[in-house]
A = this chain, B = another copy of it.
Amino acid sequence: MMSSSEHSIQPGSMNTLFESSLEQLKKDYPSIQEINIANKSFLYRQGDYCSNFFWIKSGIVKLSHLTEQGSEITIALLREGDVIGYLQDESASQEMEETAQALGEVSCYRFTYNNFKALISHHAELTWHVFEEIYNRKQKIERKLRIMLTQPVEIRLIATLLELAEMFGIRCTHGYALEIHLTQQDVADLIGASRSVVSTLLNDFRNRGILDYTRDQICINDAALISFGKLKQQP
């Protein structure tokens, strides 16, 4: 299980490095750019050839995939400190398998593959940081895979909501409200279920006092977080 601090903002060797010496870095790695992405616009799209690498400075990025049959699924939601983009040898140059879209305002650093590779090689402390980042992402997806394959929709929904509360929850009166706006369809895509089931389940949860929501915010109650062991009983 994750400790609730796992996703808190990291001391961030990368953060520090960039902010303190962006100008210097630009000389060595000319491709580095700080870019801002507007709500709902794309870092890259499924099918693009993209040899850039991104490090998210602030905001939330949705990684999703559209199947031939037209169903969308959300692979992950990423935030400050996460990395995305192309990390394979350029020679293998392949189409991106997913779409990366900004949820709200996002700002991030962008490099070319080669510049990033060079940067990594010359900054050992950074290497390990990025390393752990990717490793954690891998672990997280494995966890998700497990849940998807073995658990029914209800459990998947709860698990996902709890995870969201940990990642994007901001304190409100009775619990943690999500700082992202998600429609029921968004949630459904996140857990690989149909919108209608999500709707009924959410209703159900609301009746049972697990959470509360309006059309533009979901709030997971403390009671739920406690009973699922994500939050320690307040003294």
Write the residues of chain A forming the contact surface with B, with a CB cutoff of 8 angstroms: 3, 6, 65, 67, 69, 71, 73, 75, 87-89, 92, 97-98, 117, 120-122, 124, 127-128, 130-132, 134-139, 141-146, 148-151, 192
How many copies of this chain?
A: 2
Measured CB to CB, the nearest residue on chain B to A139 is: B97
Q: Is the interface of A mostly helix, strand, loop or mixed?
A: helix
Whether A71 contacts B150 in the complex (CB less than 8 A), given A121-B128, A132-B88, A134-B135, comes out as yes
- Tell me if A145 and B75 are in contact (CB < 8 A): yes
- Tell me if A148 and B150 are in contact (CB < 8 A): no
Closest Cβ of chain B to A26, distance in Å, is: 22
Measured CB to CB, the nearest residue on chain B to A143 is: B97
Query: CB < 8 Å: which of B88, B98, B192 contacts A142?
Result: B98
Residues of B within 8 A of A67 (CB): 146, 150-151
